[in-house]
Structures are given as C-alpha cells and as structure tokens.
C-alpha cells in the first residue's frame, strides 16, 4: 500500500495518474489524501525557472482525453478535495500587510518561512500550503498557456463559480472576502493620522464608506438575479468602479502630501495596507462580471491562479521591505537632496569657499585628534573609552556643522540624492536620454571636484593643527603624548600593514547612516508639525515673545536634524573600536581627515625618525582611505536614492559610460571649475527648481 505513494524520480505525470487512479488499483481516496496531487505537482514543476518560456501540459491533456476512466477518477478526486473549502481568508489576508508594526511584520514573515502557519484542514489555504509550498510556484504556473488551462478546466468538468451563492460556495466566499476588505479599509481610513494626510477630503463624505454601501447594494442585486452575476454595462458596476477610483485617488493624494506634511512609518504602513486592499478589490470586482459565455470559464481560472499567487507571496519578506521602505526612503532622500545642493560647487567663488570651509573643518579635526590621544591615556573600561571618544567626536562634528565648516566625505550621502533627483527629472525634460546622461555627468563632475577640494582643505589643515597641538603640549608640559603610540598610529594608516581599507569602509557606512538619520529626523519633525508646535507654544510665546519664538522654531527646523545626525555620527565613530575589543574583532574606523592628523601625531611622536617606506604608505594610505570613504558612502546613498525613486539600477550602465566620456573630454573639470557659467545652465536649472517652488 505504501508503495503506491512513492513516485520514483523518473516517473512521468501520466504514469503517476495511472498508478493512483488506474482500474487495477483498489485504492480509494479520502477527502484529506493530498499525496497524489502533491506528487503530480512535484513532477510537473520545472527544475529550473531561469529563462523559462512555457510549461507545456499537452501530454497530460492528451492522456486524459484518451483515457475516460482515469479522467473521471481524477476529476472526482480533484473536485472532492476542493468542495466546500473556505478561502475567504486568502482573499482578505494573504500577501496583505497584517500589522502596521514594521519590525513585528518582518519577524513574523521570517519565522513563517521556516515554520509556516498551518490553517485548518477544511480550508483551501491548507491544501495550497501542502501542494504549492514554494515561493516560485506562481512563476511557472503562469507560464502554462491559457488555452491549456481552459482545456483542463473543461476536461475535469469543474462547475461554474456562478453555480450557486449559498453558504461555502465560491461566490459566497468571494463576497465575504470583499466585505472583510472593505470594512477594514473603512475603519483604517478613518484613523486620525491617515485623515491628517488628506485635509482636502475633510468636508466630503469618505469614498470608502460610499464604496462599502454600493458593494452591499450590488451584492443584494446579484443574489436576487437569475444567474448570480452582472454585466459591465450595469450602472451599479460602473458606480462601484468610480468609487473605487476615488478611493485610489484618496490614497495617492495622501502619499503625495507626504512631501508637504512628512510621514511616519506607521502612517506609511496604514496607507500601504489600504492600497494593497484596494488592489485586491480591483481584481475581485471584475469576477462578478460576465459579458460572454467564455467569461464564466476564464473568471474561474483567474480566481484559481490568483489564489495560488496570493498564498505563495503571503510570507514574502523582500517584497514587503521594498514596498514598506520606498516612500520613507524617498522622503529621507528628498531632504538630503535639498541639503546636498549646498555641497555642489559650480563657480570658482563657490569652489574656493568650499576650500575655506574645509580648512575650518580640518582645524577642528586637528584638535579632535590631539584630544583623542589624550583621552586614550585615561584609565577606564572599554565602555569608558567608547563614551569619551564618542563625545569627543560628537561635539566636534556638531561644532563643525554649527560653524558652517565642511568635513570631507560627509557630503556624498547628501549629493547622491541630488544627482538622482537630476536624473529622475531628466534635467532637460525636452531632450533625449543622451542629453539627460550628459547633464548628469556634468553634475557628477561638480560633485567630485567639490569633494576633492574638501579633501584638500581638510588634509592640509588637520596636519599642521595636530602637529602644533602636540608640540604645544610637549613644549608646555614636557610630555610627548604620542611617544608610545606613534608606531600604531602610523601602521593603522598603511593599507598593506593593517586593515585600513576595511576600517575606511566602516567609516563610509557610518557616513551613509548619518545622512539617513538627518533625513529621517527632518521627515519626522515635518510629520509631527514640530515647527508649528514651537511657533504656537503658549509658554514660549509668553516668555520669549512671538518673534523670538518664531526664530527659535526656524533655528530648530534648520539645524536640529543636522545636530542629531552629527551626534550619532560621533557615537558610531567613537564606539566602534571599543565594541570590536569587546567582541574580539578587529573593528575600527578610518577617516581621511583624522588620518592626516594622526600622521602628524605619529611623526612627532617618533621624533620624525620614520622610514621612507612607512612614510610613503602612510601618505598613500590617507589617499586610499579618502577614496574608500567617498566610494562607500556615495554608492550606498546612490543605491538608496535609486531605490526610493524606483529607477532601475540598469541606468547605472549608461550613467557610468556618460561620466567616463565626460572625464575623457574634460578631465580637469573633475578637479577644478573649468565650465563657464553659460555652459552649465543645464544643471543650474535643476538646482533652482526647489527654490522656485
């Protein structure tokens, strides 16, 4: 008996059907015996899905046509296991957000990947979990020609989904699923945070409530009809689709207003769930329409295919994260794009202004390098050193930011978004793609030279300031603070004697994260109306006056995101080494400006008695560290910006070619401002867009 269920690897689908349902077999199915169907699907399922064009069922169809008894037995078996199986939960829940808590939803889906939730055996979801348990099953099923699916539908004598509307019938389950969805949408759309996103609808009836009422009327009409369906020229159907369109416009308007009011992750998840539910209804409503006789069959097949698809995708983590984070990342990069515009120089005046602000940043970093060496002398724990280093970095970076100075490599996280915004808008909307990529290359050259001069300004100032600082301490206290550390300071700069490149990558990641923090804080404050709340704070207005309160609100709006971003950047930079020591891992950070200051400290600590090779690798290491800092932070930010605007990474191919062609034709423009004003108007138009708005 057991041998019946063990299909050999070389068994064909037709042989399997014969084995299970042949006349010579005394086996009789029970309604919960899924083994025949599981084995059959396993044999039909393609081994490789890549470049799969078609899944041909011609052999099975021909076999069933020529074998009446086997076809009858197989048909009875399939209909028996599907009869009276509930599936409304698949329609209302599967592949739709179940919780607005992002972290909880991710954990739940990951857990379900390893230990799937198993519903009751009287549900269709249980059968689909057992038969189509792979995420990619829906891919190959959709490769089956529709003509073959219709032939199978006819051969197996499936009943019409409009046969009855009684309890547990197909149509009854469809309506119940639609009711669940519409009632959930209506309740979620009435939440305060969602309504706040669309003040334009405050004085109007909710389109969701109107849609729910119209759906009830349409269902009542179908229940009382002779055929249990309606036609596309029915006024009720037309009205229902108009209201559905209004619901979609409501959600689109809420998402669009996020640039004006900001958006939280919770509101984003609420709106995303409503959008997913509306998309589900957009598929379900046409199932109630039959204009031609063949629609009865095609609607039944479409329902079956979508049920499999929804069930396969219900635990998809990648798609969930992608959908959930796209708008949030867009709003974050919108902020960083606007900030990044200030870090892109064009004229010689702007170029040398960047140089001067970079000198100021190098001056502060030089002092921070000396202070860090002094703090390393403190007799404290790993946590103590992490705290001291973090505060040193954090307050130093905040000082650089508030004084308007520039820290090299801090800009890429900002300028990448500005570049993508230029690519997205096409810069020259009336031009060809070639013109768009050319304009992007020109803008990239400006970004690169802005970074180059920031590197130069930071490095040439951090070195003498650190040297002067350690000399003053030695001169005043007769104590060379780097006498015992100079060798490690020098070795840490060498890309061949240490993990300097890996540590520079870590610093690049932190630079990227600081940009994300800045954008998220600005977005959060906008959504929470912090500026307006400070402006209208009764106690502040009473104690400071309206004008000063307004100035405080403007100062907060302009500076707070940057302050928090720089504070956390300092925490990341200062605690990495201590965390590495605690974990027993070689973790640390390398930043080009600090590398320059540390080189000065190492030379003084060694009394300038350093071998030529070590000096060479130290100087060379500074350049490599700076390049890695830039490449990592810029590439991560570029990837996020591409992702947030749904631009294909395939565009990078054309962008890279355009940049390379521009470099070959004008290499000096990547290091010095060579374009004349009238030649760069193509990108200037982009930078002035937001100001005009």
Could you tell me where the DSSP H helices lie in 257-347? 258-261, 265-284, 293-313, 317-340
DSSP 679: G
Burial class (CB in 10 A: 0-12, 13-18, 19+), 280: buried
Written as six digits, the tokens of 409 are 């490599």
Written as six digits, the tokens of 223 are 């229940």
Q: Closest by alpha carbon to 410, among 465, 358, 345? A: 358
DSSP 103: H
pLDDT at residue 685 in the model: 45
3-state secondary structure (DSSP) of residue 499: coil
3-state secondary structure (DSSP) of residue 611: coil
**CA 661 – CA 174 distance, rounded (Å):** 58
Torsion sign over Cα 128, 126, 133, 109? positive
Beta bridge partners, 289, equal: 230
3-class secondary structure per residue, 17-79: HHHHHCCCCCCCCCCCCCHHHHHHHHHHCCCCCCCCCCCCCHHHHHHHHHCHHHHHHHHHHHH
pLDDT along the chain (693 residues), means of 10: 47 87 59 82 87 88 91 90 90 85 81 83 90 88 93 91 86 93 91 88 86 91 88 91 94 86 82 92 94 92 94 84 69 55 71 91 95 92 93 95 84 58 51 63 82 90 95 93 91 92 93 83 84 91 90 91 92 93 90 92 92 92 91 81 68 79 86 61 44 41
Terminal-to-terminal C-alpha distance of the chain = 77
**CA 646 – CA 250 distance, rounded (Å):** 22
**CA 154 – CA 302 distance, rounded (Å):** 15
Written as six digits, the tokens of 38 are 């599981």
3-class secondary structure per residue, 242-262: HHHHHHHHHHHHHHHCHHHHC
pLDDT at residue 360 in the model: 94
Q: Closest by alpha carbon to 277, among 102, 88, 89, 91? A: 91
Q: Which helix (H) or strand (E) holds 179?
A: helix 170-189
**CA 95 – CA 90 distance, rounded (Å):** 8
Beta bridge partners, 123, equal: 86
Residue 561 contacts residue 521 (beta carbons within 8 Å): yes
**CA 634 – CA 622 distance, rounded (Å):** 18
């Amino acid at each position: 008996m057991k041998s019946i269920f063990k299909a050999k690897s070389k068994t064909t689908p037709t042989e399997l059907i014969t084995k299970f349902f042949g006349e010579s077999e005394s086996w009789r199915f029970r309604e919960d015996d899924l083994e025949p169907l599981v084995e059959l699907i396993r044999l039909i399922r393609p081994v490789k899905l890549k470049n799969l064009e078609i899944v041909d069922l011609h052999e099975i169809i021909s076999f069933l046509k020529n074998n009446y008894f086997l076809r009858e037995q197989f048909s009875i078996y399939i209909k028996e296991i599907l009869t009276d199986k509930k599936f409304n939960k698949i329609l209302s829940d599967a592949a739709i957000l179940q919780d607005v808590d992002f972290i909880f939803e991710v954990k739940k889906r990951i857990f379900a990947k390893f230990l799937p939730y198993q519903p009751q055996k009287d549900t269709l979801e249980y059968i689909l979990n057992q038969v189509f348990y792979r995420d990619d099953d829906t891919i190959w099923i959709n490769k089956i020609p529709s003509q073959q699916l219709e032939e199978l539908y006819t051969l197996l004598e499936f009943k019409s989904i409009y046969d009855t509307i009684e309890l547990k019938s197909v149509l009854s389950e469809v309506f119940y699923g639609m009711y669940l969805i519409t009632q959930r949408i209506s309740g979620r759309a009435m939440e305060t945070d969602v309504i706040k996103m669309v003040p334009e609808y405050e004085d109007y009836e909710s389109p969701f409530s109107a849609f729910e009422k119209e759906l009830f009327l349409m269902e009542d009409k179908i229940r009382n009809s002779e055929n249990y369906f309606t036609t596309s020229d029915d006024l009720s159907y037309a009205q229902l689709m108009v209201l559905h369109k209004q619901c979609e416009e409501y959600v689109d308007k809420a998402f669009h207003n996020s640039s004006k009011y900001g958006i939280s992750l919770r509101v984003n998840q609420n709106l995303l769930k409503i959008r997913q539910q509306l998309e589900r209804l957009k598929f379900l409503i046409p199932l109630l329409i039959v204009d031609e006789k063949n629609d009865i069959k095609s609607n039944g097949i479409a329902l079956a295919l979508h049920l499999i698809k929804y069930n396969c995708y219900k635990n998809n983590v990648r798609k969930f994260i992608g959908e959930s984070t796209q708008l949030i990342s867009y709003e974050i990069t919108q902020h960083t794009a606007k900030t990044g515009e200030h870090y892109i120089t064009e004229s010689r005046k702007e170029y040398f202004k960047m140089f001067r602000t970079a000198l100021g940043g190098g001056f502060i970093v030089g002092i921070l390098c000396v202070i860090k060496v002094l703090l390393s002398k403190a007799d404290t724990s790993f946590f103590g050193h992490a705290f001291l280093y973090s505060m040193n970095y954090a307050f130093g970076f905040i000082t650089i930011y508030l004084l308007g100075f520039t820290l090299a490599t801090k800009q890429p996280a900002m300028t990448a978004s500005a570049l993508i915004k230029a690519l997205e808008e096409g810069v020259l909307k009336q031009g060809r793609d070639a013109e768009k990529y050319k304009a992007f290359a020109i803008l990239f050259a400006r970004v690169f030279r802005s970074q180059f001069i920031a590197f130069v300004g930071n490095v040439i100032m951090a070195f003498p300031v650190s040297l002067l600082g350690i000399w003053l301490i030695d001169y005043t206290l007769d104590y060379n603070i780097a006498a015992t550390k100079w060798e490690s300071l020098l070795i840490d700069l060498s890309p061949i004697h240490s993990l300097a490149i890996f540590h520079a990558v870590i610093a690049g990641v932190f630079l990227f994260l600081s940009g994300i923090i800045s954008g998220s804080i600005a977005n959060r404050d906008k959504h929470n109306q912090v500026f307006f709340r400070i402006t209208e704070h009764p106690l502040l207005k009473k104690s400071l006056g309206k004008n000063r309160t307004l100035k405080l609100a403007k100062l907060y709006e302009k500076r707070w995101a940057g302050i928090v971003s720089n504070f956390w950047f300092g925490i990341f930079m200062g605690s990495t080494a201590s965390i590495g020591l605690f974990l027993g891992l070689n973790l640390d950070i390398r930043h080009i400006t600090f590398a320059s200051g540390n080189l000065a400290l190492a030379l003084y600590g060694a009394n300038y008695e350093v071998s030529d090779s070590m000096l060479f690798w130290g100087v060379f290491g500074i350049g490599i560290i700076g390049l890695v800092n830039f490449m990592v932070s810029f590439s991560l930010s570029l990837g996020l910006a591409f992702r947030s605007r749904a631009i294909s990474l395939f565009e990078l191919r054309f962008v890279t070619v355009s940049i390379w062609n521009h470099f070959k034709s004008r290499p000096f423009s990547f290091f010095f401002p060579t374009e004349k004003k009238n030649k760069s108007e193509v990108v200037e138009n982009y930078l002035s867009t937001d100001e005009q708005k």
